[in-house]
Amino acid sequence: NAGVTQTPKFQVLKTGQSMTLQCAQDMNHEYMSWYRQDPGMGLRLIHYSVGAGITDQGEVPNGYNVSRSTTEDFPLRLLSAAPSQTSVYFCASSSTRGQGQYGYTFGSGTRLTVV
């Protein structure tokens, strides 16, 4: 089925460990982004990409890296996990054709706990 696939769905990390959250979409969307969702804070933008080879920082980029080597994949790397990074992470993609007339398609989310 077409859509945005996030893996893993759940993860527990120890403080200081690193890991990569995977995100892949098969809709040929140019625009991809990562958000974190914390209670009472809505969704906050971590990093985003308007196309392969182009990435930029969002509202809360510290502690995270991204790359966009292909149109389909947009992995999010946690360099050295901290308890403050405990959150639900969503990857989303959208088409930029038609001047942004399409909303995001969201992945199912990754629930990350850092202990």
Partner 1 sequence: ELKVEQNPLFLSMQEGKNYTIYCNYSTTSDRLYWYRQDPGKSLESLFVLLSNGAVKQEGRLMASLDTKARLSTLHITAAVHDLSATYFCAVRNDRDDKIIFGKGTRLHILP
Integer Cα distance of 68 and 7 in angstroms: 17
Q: One symbol per residue from 41 to 80: x for binding partner 1 (CB under 8 A), - otherwise; what is it? A: xxxxx--x-x-----x-xx---------------------
Report residue 81 as tokens.
Answer: 């996990």
Best CA proximity match to 21, nearest among 7, 33, 10, 31: 7
Using the minimum distance from each CB to partner 1, give the nearer residue, 26 or 56.
56
Q: Are 74 and 34 in contact (CB under 8 A)?
A: yes
Q: Which stretch binds partner 1 (CB under 8 A): 20-28, 69-77, 78-86, 99-107?
A: 99-107
Q: How far is the CB of 74 from partner 1 (least distance, A)?
A: 14
Write the DSSP assignment of 61-84 as a string of letters.
-TTEEE--SSSSB--EEESS--GG
Q: Is 105 helix (H, G, I), strand (E, B) or coil?
A: strand
Q: Pick the binder of partner 1 from 5, 11, 86, 105 (CB under 8 A).
A: 105
Using the minimum distance from each CB to partner 1, give the nearer residue, 19 or 50.
50
Which residues are near partner 1 by CB under 8 A?
A: 31, 33, 35, 40-45, 48, 50, 56, 58-59, 90, 92, 99-109
